[in-house]
């Protein structure tokens, strides 16, 4: 005898104050169009502007995932909120770092790119140390 498990998707309540269906897809469409527009700019030899647009779109997606409920995110809600936010932030910062570090670069751009790299390294180091401390506190093997 087998037991069937039925999964139901969580949905927003449909009342007069509920948002229309297309509004739930808006953050995803903004991120998708930003990345698509950035790729188009890169194809037209505007690499820095295109990369900057892609980075801004990814960081907007992280902010939307952090602030909006799941019912208004569409395809931006894939995994847990924390995993989605960290993935979008890291990808956005990496693309922004690449956008700032491409030649020709003046001294100000190089300092900005280096600061972005140091910021990413510090965040990853702090996150790793926090994870190790939590594992040691719980007593699980590292």
Q: Where are the domains of the chain?
A: 25-68
Band (pLDDT 50/70/90 cuts) for residue 56 is very high
**Residue reference for tokens 């190790």:** 132
Residue 45 φ/ψ, nearest 5 degrees: 70, 25
pLDDT at 40 over 90: yes
Region 92-97: mean pLDDT is 90
- pLDDT attached to residue 32: 92
Is the pLDDT score of 17 beyond 60?
no
Question: Burial, 70: exposed, middle or buried (Cβ in 10 Å; 0-12, 13-18, 19+)?
Answer: middle
Whether the per-residue pLDDT at 76 is higher than 60: the answer is yes
pTM: 0.60
Q: For residue 50, how many other CB atoms are within 10 A of its CB?
A: 21
40 versus 17: which is more confidently predicted? 40
**Which of 18, 112, 131, 109 lies closest to 69, judged by CA?**
18
**pLDDT at residue 2 in the model:** 56
**Dihedral over alpha carbons 37, 49, 95, 115 (to 10 degrees):** -160
């Amino acid at each position: 005898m087998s037991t069937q498990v039925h999964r139901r998707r969580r949905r927003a309540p449909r009342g007069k104050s509920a948002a229309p269906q297309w509004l739930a897809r808006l953050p995803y469409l903004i991120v998708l169009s930003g990345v698509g527009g950035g790729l188009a700019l890169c194809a037209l030899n505007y690499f820095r502007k295109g990369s900057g647009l892609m980075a801004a779109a990814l960081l907007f997606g992280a902010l939307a995932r952090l602030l909006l409920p799941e019912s208004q995110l569409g395809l931006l809600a894939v995994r847990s909120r924390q995993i989605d936010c960290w993935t979008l932030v890291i990808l956005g910062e990496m693309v922004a770092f690449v956008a700032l570090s491409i030649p020709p670069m003046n001294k100000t751009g190089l300092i900005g790119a280096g600061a972005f790299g140091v910021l990413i390294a510090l965040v990853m180091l702090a996150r790793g140390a926090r994870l190790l401390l939590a594992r040691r506190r719980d007593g699980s093997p590292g």
